[in-house]
Amino acid sequence: MTAHPTPPTEALMLLGDMTWPDFQRRAHTDYAIVPIGAVEPHGPHLPLASDTMISEHFAARLAHDIGGFITPSIGYGIATEPYRLGGTFPGVISVSGTTFMNLVGDVLTSLADHGVRRFVVVNSAIDNTGFLCEAARMLTERVPDARVVIVAWWDVVGEQFRDDLATETGVARRDDHHAAMVESSLVMHIAPGAVQPDKLAGETGAASQPRRMRYHVYPLPPEATTETGIVYTAEQASAHLGERVADQVARQLEDAIRLEFNDPRGQ
C-alpha cells in the first residue's frame, strides 16, 4: 500500500501564513477548512491532543485533495463525558459549551464577513458535535448563502469497512471506542513520534470487563471505569492499520465534500 502521510506544510495554504491580499483573493471562492479538536486523556500511550492531531491530518489531506485554505486549529473543546473516557483521568483541559460555541461561531462569522461561503469543519471529539451544529445553524441563519459541512472521521469511514476490520482483527466494534484500536492506530500513523506503544504492553482494558451502560451517571460508578482510559482494548493497534483507516477516511471525506458542495472532480 502506498503511504499517504500528511502533506508538508509548505504545500498547503494556511490562513495564518497568508497576507491580507492573498486572503482577499481566495475568500470568495475557496473552502475554509477548520480543524477542531480537544485536550483530554487518551490512555497511557497517546498524547492529550490526539483529537486535534487527527483533525489537522484530515484537514491537510482534504486541502491537498480539493484545495482551499486551513484555518488555525481550535484545540480546546467540550469536556468528554467520563463514561466515554473510561473514567476520570488527569488531562481534560476543556471550555464550557457556551464558550466553545461562541468561539467557533465568532470564527465562522468573521470568515463569512470577509466573503467566505464554503466551510468544512473537521472535528474529532464527539462531544463537540452538538455545539458545532448550533454554531453552524446560527451562521447560516445570519448568512443564508453560506454552507457548512461538519464531519468527523467516524462519520465517513464506512460501516462495511469497520465491520470488515472487526472481522479481520477479532476486535468487536463494541470494544473499539475511545483510545482503542482504530483511534490508536490513526495516531500511530499520523504522529508516530508522539505515541508510546510500550505502554500498551499487557493492557487489560477489555479483559477487566468494566460494566457497560448507555446512559450517564455522575460520578461514574467505579465498576464502570477502565484501568487505563482505553475503551476497551487497543491490543491490535498498529501504524499499518492506521494508514489503511486514514486512506479510507480521506477518500470518503473528499467524496462527501464534493457531493455536498456540488464540486465534481477535475473542476
What CA–CA distances, in Å, run from 111 to 27, 34, 149?
8, 11, 15
Confidence of residue 206 (pLDDT cuts 50, 70, 90): very low
The domain total for the chain is 1
How much is the pLDDT for 4? 47
What's the confidence (pLDDT) of residue 9?
60
Q: Which grid coordinates belong to 241?
A: 492499520
Structure confidence at residue 266 (pLDDT): 59
Whether residue 82 is contained in a domain is answered as: yes
Residue 266 lies in a domain: no
For residue range 142-198, what is the model confidence (pLDDT) as tens digits? 999 999 999 999 999 999 999 999 999 999 999 999 999 999 999 999 999 999 999
Instruction: Examine residue 4 and state whether it is found in any structural domain, yes or no.
Output: no
Range of the domain at 21: 9-260
Residue 245 reports pLDDT greater than 90: yes
Structural contact between residues 101 and 107, judged by C-beta atoms closer than 8 angstroms? no
**For residue 48, what pLDDT band results from cuts at 50, 70 and 90?**
very high
Task: Answer with the residue of higher pLDDT: 2 or 169.
Answer: 169
Residue 2 domain flag:
no
Express each pLDDT in 22-47 by its tens digit: 999 999 999 999 999 999 999 999 99
Is there a domain that residue 138 lies in?
A: yes
pTM for the model: 0.93
Residues 104-133 pLDDT 10s: 999 999 999 999 999 999 999 999 999 999
User: Is residue 96 pLDDT above 80, yes or no?
Assistant: yes
Distance, CA of 131 to CA of 38 (rounded, Å): 13
CATH code of the domain containing 230: 3.40.50.10310
Domain assignment present for residue 267? The answer is: no
> Does any domain span residue 71?
yes
Q: What is the predicted pLDDT for the residue at 129?
A: 98
**pLDDT attached to residue 124:** 98
**Per-residue confidence (pLDDT) for residue 214, from 0 to 100:** 87
Is 232's pLDDT higher than 70?
Answer: yes
Could you tell me what percent of the chain has a pLDDT over 90?
88
pLDDT of 78 above 70: yes
User: Averaged over 205-227, what is the pLDDT?
Assistant: 85
pLDDT on residue 204: 52
Q: Residue 209 domain-assigned? A: yes
